[in-house]
Amino acid sequence: MFQDLINLFYPNICQICDTELHKNQNVLCTSCINELPITNFHLDNENPVRKVFYGRVPIENATSLLVFKKKGSVQKLIHRLKYRGHREIGSYIGAWIGAELAKINSYKDIDIVIPVPLHKKKLEARGFNQVEGFGQEIAKALNILYIDDVLLKTSFSTTQTLKTRLARWGNTEESFVLFNSEKIKNKHILLVDDLITTGATLEACADVLLEAENVKISIVTMAFTA
């Protein structure tokens, strides 16, 4: 009854085609699920996402659930997640890929999930990190911890140390810093983000995480730009 009342004001609609969903459906309708561009990259570790990092930074496993195309359904989903506050979209995609990864041996020794952080100002403006629900659901599926106080994003230009780091990364304007590095010592980390395009952001994050002692890194994103 209470749910019926909520649905009256906020109809439960498919986040791609906007048709009303049945009571047992969540986020997407059956036909939109069937039409989603799924990569299945997780079934092959030598996949295009992992290849992005070849010769740049050592990555154990890497995958994305979906293919991102301009004006496509995945772009719509990510836009609604980031700019319209539909946080359930991130959780939905995370639960999906999490269930897939839980079946794969090479993902079984992962210890923690860490999100690519947002800068504090952006976090305040948006109110949430769009990767949070995604990462938390993956952590739940793999029965491991989600940790968001280790890797932080800083504005560039504040300190001399940061300038040195920027110089090292060259073409990326983003800079990240490591806190509580003892929390990730000897851990296999799953670094998660919404979208991978050039891989520059994830590479910068991986570089910083690898400053901790005996760390291995894998990467999962919601979508991959083909």
| DSSP output for 182-217 | GGTTT-EEEEEEEEESSSHHHHHHHHHHTTSTT-EE
Of positions 27, 29, 190, 192, contacts Zn ion by CB under 5 A: 29
Site string for Zn ion, 31-50 (x = CB under 5 A): -x------------------
Cα 139 to its chain centre, rounded Å, is 11
**Quick check: 11 binds Zn ion (CB under 5 A)?**
no
Task: Report d(CA 32, CA 2) in Å as an integer.
Answer: 27
Task: Report d(CA 82, CA 134) in Å as an integer.
Answer: 12
Please name which of 171, 162, 163 lies closest in space to residue 198, comparing C-alpha atoms.
171
**Measured from the CB atom, is 21 or 215 closer to Zn ion?**
21
**Quick check: 30 binds Zn ion (CB under 5 A)?**
no
The interaxial angle of helices 87-101 and 73-83, nearest 10 deg, is: 120
Smallest distance, Zn ion to C-beta of residue 32, A = 3
- The position carrying tokens 């920027």 is 166
Smallest distance, Zn ion to C-beta of residue 24, A = 15
Among the listed ranges 22-30, 68-76, 166-174, 175-183, the one in contact with Zn ion (CB under 5 A) is 22-30
**Quick check: 74 binds Zn ion (CB under 5 A)?**
no
Among the listed ranges 23-31, 138-146, 153-161, 168-176, the one in contact with Zn ion (CB under 5 A) is 23-31
**Measured from the CB atom, is 80 or 140 closer to Zn ion?**
80
User: How many residues sit close enough to Zn ion to count as binding (CB under 5 A)?
Assistant: 5
**Quick check: 145 binds Zn ion (CB under 5 A)?**
no
Q: What secondary structure letter does DSSP report for 24?
A: T
Among the listed ranges 24-32, 100-108, 119-127, 204-212, the one in contact with Zn ion (CB under 5 A) is 24-32
Q: How many CA atoms lie within 13 A of 83 on its CB side?
A: 5
Interface residues with Zn ion (CB under 5 A)?
A: 14, 16-17, 29, 32
